[in-house]
Amino acid sequence: MNTSALAAIAVFAAALLSVFGVLYRMASRSHARGELSYDGIRILRWALLGQLAIFAILALTAFLT
């Protein structure tokens, strides 16, 4: 297992999650004010899931080296 690669991927994923967290909070507030439809929140969740899937696959590579 490549520990440094796994650590680097975890750091990237954490940074991305924090950025998405801020954006999700902004989107939730807009939704609460009635400016943003639920579709916007739903697509944002799918986007986040897609990014997490990419990082999960990359994390898998750390076990292959």
Partner 1 sequence: MIPPVALVLGLALKSLFVLDYVHVITGASWTGFDLYTGIVLSRILRSLEVPARVEVAKRLTPTTFFIIPSLAAVAITSGIYLAQAMGKFDLGDPWILAAGAIVVVLTVQGFGVFLPNGVRIFLELAKAKPDPALISRLTMRNVRLAASQAVFQVLIILVMAHLAVY
Judged by the rule CB under 8 A, the positions of this chain that interact with partner 1 are: 5, 9, 12, 15-16, 19-20, 22-23, 26-27, 30, 34-37, 39-40, 43-44, 47, 50-51, 53-55, 57-58, 60-61, 64-65
Q: How far is the CB of 53 from partner 1 (least distance, A)?
A: 7
Tell me the closest approach of the beta carbon of residue 32 to partner 1, in angstroms: 13
Distance CA 53, CA 9 (A): 12
Mention every residue, 6+ apart, whose C-beta is less than 8 A from residue 31: 37, 38, 40, 41
CB of 24 to partner 1, least distance (A): 9
- Please state the length of the chain: 65
